[in-house]
Structure 1
């Protein structure tokens, strides 16, 4: 039996060399994700997952960001949930997924003290998993995402399964079968955004990736044409405008070089980021104060409007998915931080009044048709009658507008501080040397043990 999955895995399986740029960007993604995992370790969703599976956690050797060790599956789920808990982890546009929140916990879960895996092997597996996510996403996105599927827990899990097989030393057929089995586990509606279920999607995806890979390497098998066949992934999940994989080919340039990841500067839904950045551009360019502005209007994609369902958020999780709240905080404070997304921070009558002056509307379906990406626009009406407008096609942190090294270190330090852990420059520097480490398990174990809770 042949199919698209075998074509994808065959091309990925034979990719063994990655450029210095690709390895550096993968290292950055791992460090950023570890920081997000630590920041999110105390979140209610992580606590729920930990409590739910506590009785099954004894005897494993996989590291937990919350402390201790557990089984491979539970480690992947707990750490994946922590990585995505605060919505501060990266985005990957080709998959429409939080790629690293699935990949890093899944790969981390299958490392052990008994079977040393080098840092370079870990990074190679990460890059293979990212390519697999992009390949699967190629055939269904943006239609799949716009239909309402959370790509993190669908496309993200399928691609991550390929990365886990690579890390475990599996073959071409096993990689294809792991992706086939992960398709049978794919799930997660975007209607859950703004609830604890959303970060748990990432945890489930990481667990599914690990279990699909382990099943495939133990002889379990599915159809290798399950992406494209009737009643397969494209048919059921693709949406009306999905293009399929007839034209897909693995590019010579690694996807992390050609498309990159979006490293988040703001701890909230990415659907708000371009509007936040456009607003702050206007504020800085025109030396504006909140009292200068009568009204703010945003024009964003259809999926962004659907994602940002909370005009007046009732809790911190909903606030991450509220354009009104995020823009009001940005205008008031000049930036957004983890401290802005607590239940206590929402109790602010002046900010609530400002939120009433913020509107949001979407491009029409006709306007979006044929475009992979359209700019998000912010229009300000000033008290003096002047109207200012700014477009953003890319958010700060994207490949086109990357964070600098200082911004990355500050974010990492802030994540550790939010997780009540001590930060030392040594932590960042040694993690940055990931590709030259003989044992990635030893590195992660050292990191988690030395960033002890205050």
Structure 2
């Protein structure tokens, strides 16, 4: 039941969040949750290196360089550059999300679109990372700030009325800014009052529209959210003022951006349970929108089982619930960014190359004649059976009509990397190594780095570890 306001009907939500941010310690976090978080940090750091090579990241760094503000506060991973903390957070956040390969929050409520709540690591980790490096924090301190930021991001995303996402807001940008503000507030040691003020500023900067999916502005959202969180925290630390009830207020975030919220999804729920534990965070096996992944996994298995080749396939029909085509909007993609939100491309490239990793999502590959020809033989739309299952799964039904008249069918509700079908630590390390290589770092150093990240809470300082993820002059 979503609360609609005529006044502050449920005061105290922001205060609850602020106390959680200011008062939570690592002793409050179960060991299993810490391990899940370290896996997502490993994933995010690898993606920051890989994404640093994207065109979007290069343009952004060039513009920041024109500000003549380079210093030694915080690293831009995968590069030689160091910037003030807020700009390093922006650059790393954009890079993590640049390839749409980053982790995904999973919805718990049945009226939510599974996998569409937020990408929590892209906005939160860079904010925590930049301040941890600047202030020479330990790995344990970084881990806790990140955990707090992700928990706030995901609980806020779960609570706001689904209208927020359905009608165009990109929650990675909006709830991510609030989560980044939480991570920054904890990193800076703000008390609950100053934290509430930082959240007020972060929420006032929360913005991002889904019409930009398939463009450079989508990863810009994540970078801007990370930067907003750092800036909000630093201003609050110096005495800046803002509303201290920004989430629940009549003119606050929940009402203005969603028309209301489900109080039961957030009141008393921070850390009870931690989102990393239930319902979990999904780590992507492919650099494309998470809604493509159940179908991609099922189709890849079908290809191997029947040794399918493109010339054997007459037509492919893909059916999902109505929300999935609302996000996978590019039916005839013409560049690598659009291809990430194209069910048609994702299935076509699997049939053609039997893999879908960073090397496949390039403009050159997307525009190949054999790729475009096969895309035209794939129909993607709403299937009544998938619609009836509900929106809290990503049920995908694929029917393959062969040239000889036979029809094959496969389906899946969850993709590889989801809590229902998780990637192993070794599979995650392999992805990390692939990202380092794509980003121009020698993968030979990767296994040692991965082991240190998976034991991050033992690192006395984050600086030496992050230095291993930069390119020396």
Q: What's 1:27 paired with?
A: 38
- Where do 1:10-409 residues align within 5 Å? 10-16=19-25, 17-54=28-65, 55-65=67-77, 66-94=79-107, 96-112=117-133, 115-140=135-160, 142-238=162-258, 243-246=261-264, 248=266, 249-250=268-269, 251-362=271-382, 367=387, 371-409=391-429
Report the CA distance between 1:207 and its aligned residue: 0.2
Tell which deviates more after alignment, 48-57 or 18-27: 48-57
- Three-state SS of the structure 2 residue aligned to 1:97 is coil
Maintained 8 Å contact 2:397/2:409: yes
> What does residue 13 of structure 2 align with?
4
TM-score of the superposition, structure 2-length normalised?
Answer: 0.88
Higher mean alpha-carbon deviation, 377-386 vs 316-325, is at: 377-386
Q: Give yes or no for contact 1:59–1:71 (8 Å, CA) kept in 2.
A: yes
**Contact 1:422–1:452 under 8 Å retained in 2:** no
Deviates more, 1:249-258 or 1:99-108: 249-258
Residue by residue over 1:381-403, the C-alpha shift from the partner in whole angstroms, topping out at 9 and shown as x without a partner, is: 23343333333221111111111
Secondary structure of the 2:94 match is helix
Structure 1 position 221, deviation (Å): 2.8
Give the whole-Å Cα distance in 1 for the aligned partners of 2:32 and 2:98.
29
Is contact 1:89–1:98 with CA below 8 Å preserved after alignment? yes
RMSD between aligned residues: 2.4
SS state of the match for residue 255, structure 1? coil
**Structure 2 CA distance for aligned equivalents of residues 216 and 368 of structure 1:** 47
8 Å contact kept, 2:21–2:186: no
Whole-angstrom CA distance in 2 between matches of 1:344 and 1:367: 35
Q: CA deviation at 1:214?
A: 1.4
Between the two proteins, the alignment pairs up a number of residues equal to: 448
TM-score (norm 1): 0.92
Q: Deviations over 1:179-201 (max 9, x none)?
A: 22111001110100111111111
The equivalent position to 1:428 in structure 2, one of 450, 458, 467, is 450
Taking structure 1 as reference, are residues 15 and 301 closer, same or farther at Cα in structure 2, changes over 3 Å only? farther
Distance 2:133 2:429 in 1: 28
- Within the alignment, does 1:437 sit opposite 2:455 as a pair? no
In the alignment, the residues of structure 2 paired with residue 310 and residue 160 of structure 1 have an alpha-carbon distance, to the nearest angstrom, of: 30
The offset of 1:107, in angstroms, is 0.9
**What are the ranges of 5 or more consecutive residues in structure 1 without an aligned counterpart?**
none
Secondary structure of 1:111's aligned partner: helix
CA distance in 2, matches of 1:212, 1:31: 26
Distance 1:192 1:23 in 2: 33
| 1:53 aligned counterpart, secondary structure | helix
1:101 Cα deviation after fit: 0.9
Q: Deviations over 1:13-37 (max 9, x none)?
A: 4432212211111111111111111
Please identify, of 320-329 and 90-99, the stretch whose mean Cα deviation from structure 2 is larger.
90-99
- Compare 301-310 and 335-344 and name the one that shifted more: 301-310
Q: Is the Cα contact below 8 Å between 1:116 and 1:438 reproduced in 2?
A: no
Q: Which runs of 4+ in 1 moved over 4 A?
A: 366-371
| Runs (5+) with no aligned partner, structure 2 | 1-7, 108-115
